[in-house]
Structures are given as C-alpha cells and as structure tokens.
Amino acid sequence: MTPRSFWNRLTARSDADAISLYPRTDLVLKLEWFLVLGRYLLYFAALLLKLISPDTDWFPLLIPVTASAILHNIFAHWALYTRRYHLFFSPLNLFIYIGRITFLVAITGAGTSPMAPLYALVIMGMNLYSPHSRKIPWVTALCCSVYAFITLGGAWFYGLDALDYRIYANLALMVATGWIISMISELLHGMEETKRIQEHQLRDYSDTLRAILDHTAEPILVFDDKEKITEANAQAEAYFGISKSELLGRRFREFQFDDGLLTDRMSIIRSKRNWTGEILMTLPDGSERPVELRVHSFQSGGKRLYVGLVRDLTREKELEEMRRATQEQQEKANRELHRLYRIRTAFYVDIARRLRSPLTATAGLLAMLLDEELGELSDDQRKALQSCRRSIRRMIELVSEAFHEVDAPLSLLLPTEASQSTDSMQTSAVSSENGDGAIPLSVDKDPD
C-alpha cells in the first residue's frame, strides 16, 4: 500500500463510522473544540510572556510547543470543516497526541519531565473516544515504551539517573491508569451490553404487544388521567374512521355521548380505575353506536394510564330488537289462533248439539218401533228398522268423534286454557242434550 492510498483510506468519509460513533460524537467534538481553544490560549500566553519578559530564558522552549500546537489546530480545523469527525477516533489523532506529549517531555527534562503524567491523560482519553475498544492495554504499553525510550535518551543526553524515583512513579501511574481504565471499560461494556439486550427485549415485547393489539378484534384506546388518548390499535382507526395520528391527543370523552352522567362516569373510572358498562359512542361522522366499554388502569413510565376495550353492540341490539318483535308477533299470532280455535270449537259443539237432538229423537222412535210398542212388525220391517238404527248410532258416534278431535289442536297450542275452555263447552253441551232428553254420547253398538 502506497503512502497516498493509505492517507486516502485514512481520511475518507465513512457513513458507517458516523453511525457507529454517533453516541460519542457530540461529546468528542465538544472536547476537541475545548482543546483547540486551550491551544489558542497557549499562543496568547506565549505572546504575553514575550511582551512582559523579552529576555526570559525559557521562552525559546515555548516556540516549538506553540508550533506543534498550531499544527494540531490546523488538523482539528480541517477535520471539523470537512466534517470528517471519524478522524478524531482514528489512530492518526492518537499518534498526534502521543507525538506532541513525547515532544514536550523530551524538551522539558525527558524522564523527569513534569509533562510525563500527560501520558496518563491519553490513556484515560482512549476510553472516552473509544469506550468499547480492547486496545487500552496496547495504548498503555505504547505510552510506557515511548516514555522509556525518552528516559533512556535523556539519560544519555542529559546525564539523568536511571534509578530516579520519578521515572518509576510515572511508569506506575501509566500502568495503574491503564489497568483501571481497562476495568472500567469492561464494566461499562458489560453494562451497555446488558442495556442493549434489555432494550432489544423491550422492543421485541413492544412489537409483540403491538401485533396483539392490532390483531385484536375489538378497538382499543389508551388514555391518561387527563383523558388524552396516547395509543390506539388498527381496529380503533377502522372503527372511528380516522387515522391514528388524528386519534392521538384527543380527549376520550369526545367520543362518548353526554347523557348527563359522562363527568361522573369518568370520575368513577379515575377513582376505581376499573369500569364496565354500556354507553353510547359518538363517531366522528356523527353516527351513534351502542357499545360495551371495559376500562382497566395500569402504570407506565410513572404515569397512570387507562386502556379501554370497546365492543360494538349494534348488531346484538338489532338482533335483540328483531327477536323481541318476532316474539311479539308470535304471541299475537298465538292469541289469534287461540281465538279461531275457540270459535271453531264452539261452532262444532253447536253443530254437534243441534245434530244429536234430532238423531236422538229418531233413535228413540226406532227403539219404540223395534220393541213393537206401536204395533207388530214383520221380519222385513224389523230388518229395515235395525239397519236404520245402526246408521243413526253410527252418525251419533261420528259427531262425538269429530267433537273430541277438534279439542286436540287447541289443547296442544294452549293446554291449560284450552282444556278449561273445552271442559266447560263439553259440560254445557251435555247438560243441554240431557235437558232435551238426549241419549249419552257413548252409544253401545247394535247387538243385532
């Protein structure tokens, strides 16, 4: 790979990087702007010191420090201007910070430089810039190696004591910082992973709950203590004829018919937190529908919410009205049928009474003739009279049979009332016949 291709790959825009670094981008940009301003303050301080003390001995050391800060600011401004924010998270930015600190340590005393603890700040900043990176031990080893190299160079250049306690104190500080930051990074990584899993489970639970709500047959509305609708399922949109966005934010009482008890009903729902009853629902198109409303409360996000299950009763009310009308028509038909049966029965009873009277009289005369009370009979005459008597008795039996048959349908229709009516009519008919000297209805067959 050529140096040019490596630079292009390093500085290329990457949407994937921008997405993956988004949670930390705002914080890192604020920190980079703060460091840029700090470096500008360093220029101002160097210029001010030059004006106050032109002959100071340590002023020449500020010149390379200021020059390196200017180069760093140029890089920061270019990355911010071109929106290549991922460069702040790249190894290039890390090498720039380590290089500047190494330069400061080298010109201010090498191993005993007071700038050496800045390496620990780089290690801590690594966790800020890349919290999930497992490279903190490698960065710690890099800082320790660079510091050790500068210390050895200082021992040769400055004649420093390699056993100076400050050298080992700085190394111990870097190692301890790296170890602590690694432990914190692992802990934070575990916590964020747990949070991510919980968010994923919560999202799955929310999706499952949403699927259940959308596939529920009845409309469902969720509202808060102020009666503002906060959630609605697909069936509610179809039932009310408006979209979910139009439902959300509206008051739940807007869809209820105010029968004078609306305010009391909503107060009962808020106090008891559970309510079931029938109400009249007013739809946006102006129509009204009877519904059964079931309201239950629950806690969500520290707020009290109410879920209302609406079951439309329009079809049931229509069926109930049809059943009631049909029952009324059936009762009316039964009453009319009962009246017709009574009329027919009375007619048959009257006909039977009128027929039995002459037939009974005729049977009596035939009996007198056959008993020869009116004179002697020849054999041919007796046979003719006996045939007539059998025919008359047969007619009397047919009339009685017809009278009993007409009783049956009326008894099946209205057993109690029909039986009482029939019994009374039979009693009156028999008494009438007996009063006229009629014979009983049950006639013995002709012995002849």
Q: 436 phi and psi, to 5 degrees?
A: -90, 5
Inter-residue contact 100 to 135 (CB < 8 Å): no
Q: What is the DSSP string of 171-217?
A: HHHHHHHHHHHHHHHHHHHHHHHHHHHHHHHHHHHHHHHHHHHHT-S
The DSSP secondary-structure symbol of 228 reads B
Which positions ≥6 away from 131 have C-beta within 8 Å? 24, 185, 188, 189, 192
Task: Read off the tokens for 241.
Answer: 């004829």
Task: Read off the tokens for 64.
Answer: 């390379």
pLDDT for the residue 326:
92
Inter-residue contact 28 to 108 (CB < 8 Å): no
Give dist(CA 167, CA 30) in Å, integer: 33
pLDDT for the residue 406:
57
Give dist(CA 61, CA 358) in Å, integer: 157
pLDDT in tens, the chain (448 residues): 454 554 454 444 444 444 444 456 777 788 888 888 887 887 777 677 667 766 656 566 667 777 777 888 888 888 888 888 777 777 888 888 888 888 878 777 777 778 888 888 888 877 777 766 677 888 888 888 888 888 877 666 666 666 677 888 888 888 888 888 888 878 877 887 888 888 888 787 777 777 777 777 788 888 888 889 988 888 888 888 888 888 888 988 888 888 888 888 888 888 888 889 888 888 888 888 899 999 988 887 778 889 888 988 888 888 989 999 999 999 999 999 988 888 887 887 777 777 777 878 888 888 888 887 777 878 888 888 888 888 888 888 877 776 666 554 444 443 344 344 444 444 443 343 443 433 333 344 444 4
Q: 230 phi and psi, to 5 degrees?
A: -110, -15
pLDDT for the residue 9:
47
pLDDT for the residue 426:
44
Q: Return the domain boundaries, the chain.
A: 13-196, 217-312, 318-435
pLDDT for the residue 329:
92
Give dist(CA 337, CA 393) in Å, integer: 33
pLDDT for the residue 448:
44
Task: Read off the tokens for 379.
Answer: 């054999």
- C-alpha to C-alpha distances, 332 to 71, 319, 324, 329, 413, nearest whole angstrom: 106, 20, 12, 5, 13
Q: Which of 391, 396, 401 is nearest to 354 (CA)?
A: 396
Give dist(CA 289, CA 282) in Å, integer: 7
pLDDT for the residue 330:
92
Inter-residue contact 178 to 140 (CB < 8 Å): yes
- pTM of full prediction above 0.75: no
What is the fold of 217-312?
Beta-Lactamase (3.30.450)
Give dist(CA 48, CA 59) in Å, integer: 11
Long-range contact list for 75-82, CB < 8 A, 24+ apart? 76/32, 76/35, 76/36, 77/36, 80/29, 80/32, 80/33
Give dist(CA 75, CA 94) in Å, integer: 13
pLDDT for the residue 332:
92
Inter-residue contact 66 to 42 (CB < 8 Å): yes
Cβ–Cβ contacts within 10 Å for residue 233, how many?
Answer: 21
Instruction: Name the 3-class secondary structure at 134.
Output: coil
Q: Which of 238, 243, 269 is nearest to 256 (CA)?
A: 269
- Tell me how long the chain is: 448
pLDDT for the residue 407:
53
Q: 310 phi and psi, to 5 degrees?
A: -105, 120
